[in-house]
């Protein structure tokens, strides 16, 4: 903090000096206006840790260009499932809709999902929250995460949830509930998720190859927002 204050003061001084020498004594007041906000910033108390971080507010986002499909139909040679992540804009509201068509393999393997790459430090938070409504044939979804440079490797940290039918709900997934799965099978000796260095966040509906309940067919998940909170 002390060092930051010094740097800001020094920068302000340089700006003030430069402006004064260029525009002459009549404009000496001008650079003082620039010094003032820098001084305020230095004196402000450190912000308390946020209790919530909005990862995506789909009621206000401009587009879904940071989301990419990852379905068995795009990832596996034998895959037959597909989907769409669509930004619905009406005169009165806006939200994102994950449409899915699950055409699983005979053993139940199959998935439809969308993800965003990025870098997120969520270490100060305890859970990920999804406000959404599910309709259609299937109600079981998961949020999946990758960390570090895991992006090009198989497997991800996953937390499963079941939505109520046709009712807008906020589902909260504790970050410590994310376990490592490789192609649908849980791997118990994987290192724990590093919540300080998340590099992918995804939303997925699954066939359930290693789950007691299988899913197939057509579904929709209307999503208002995804947040992290304490």
Q: Does 100 bind ligand NAG (CB under 6 A)?
A: no
Q: Does 105 bind ligand NAG (CB under 6 A)?
A: no
Task: CB nearer to ligand NAG: give 114 or 139.
Answer: 114
* Tokens encoding 44: 């402000």
Question: Please, are residues 141 and 203 in contact by the beta-carbon 8 Å criterion?
Answer: yes
Q: Does 90 bind ligand NAG (CB under 6 A)?
A: no
Q: Does 88 bind ligand NAG (CB under 6 A)?
A: no
How many of the chain's residues bind ligand NAG (CB under 6 A)?
10
Residue 72, helix vs strand vs coil: helix
Q: Which of 54, 187, 196, 218 binds ligand NAG (CB under 6 A)?
A: 54
Q: Which of 11, 23, 59, 123 binds ligand NAG (CB under 6 A)?
A: 59
Task: CB nearer to ligand NAG: give 202 or 207.
Answer: 202
Cα–Cα distance between 91 and 93 in angstroms, integer?
Answer: 6
DSSP string, 202-216: EEEEE--TTSSS---
Site string for ligand NAG, 113-152 (x = CB under 6 A): ----x---------------------------------xx
Residue numbers 210-229 binding ligand NAG by CB under 6 A:
225, 227
Task: CB nearer to ligand NAG: give 59 or 211.
Answer: 59
CA distances from 209 to 105, 134, 178, 205 (A): 9, 21, 18, 12
**Helix 29-43 × helix 2-23 angle, to 10°:** 170
Question: Please, are residues 102 and 215 in contact by the beta-carbon 8 Å criterion?
Answer: yes
Q: Which of 16, 20, 57, 103 binds ligand NAG (CB under 6 A)?
A: 57
Stretch that binds ligand NAG, among 30-38, 55-63, 134-142, 173-181 (CB under 6 A): 55-63
- Among 117, 206, 209, which Cα is nearest to 162's? 206
Residue 149, helix vs strand vs coil: coil
Contact positions toward ligand NAG, by CB under 6 A? 54, 57, 59-60, 68, 117, 151-152, 225, 227
């Amino acid at each position: 903090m002390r060092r930051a204050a010094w740097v800001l003061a020094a920068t302000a001084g340089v700006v003030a000096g430069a402006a004064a020498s260029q525009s002459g004594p009549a404009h000496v007041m001008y650079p003082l206006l620039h010094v003032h906000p820098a001084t305020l910033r230095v004196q402000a108390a450190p912000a308390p840790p946020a209790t919530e971080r909005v990862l995506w507010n789909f009621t206000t986002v401009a587009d879904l260009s940071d989301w990419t499909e990852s379905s068995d139909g795009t990832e596996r040679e034998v895959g037959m499932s597909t989907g769409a992540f669509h930004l619905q804009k009406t005169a009165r509201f806006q939200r994102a809709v994950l449409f899915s068509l699950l055409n699983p393999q005979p053993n139940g393997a199959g998935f439809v999902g969308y993800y965003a790459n990025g870098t997120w430090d969520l270490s100060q938070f305890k859970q990920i929250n999804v406000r959404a409504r599910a309709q259609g044939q299937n109600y079981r979804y998961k949020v999946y995460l990758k960390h570090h440079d895991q992006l090009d490797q198989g497997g991800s940290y996953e937390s499963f949830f079941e939505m109520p039918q046709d009712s807008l709900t906020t589902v909260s997934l504790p970050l410590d509930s994310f376990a490592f799965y490789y192609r649908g099978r849980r791997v118990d000796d994987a290192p724990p998720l590093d919540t300080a260095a998340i590099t992918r966040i995804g939303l997925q509906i699954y066939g359930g190859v290693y789950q007691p309940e299988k899913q197939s067919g057509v579904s929709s998940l209307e999503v208002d927002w995804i947040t992290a909170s304490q």
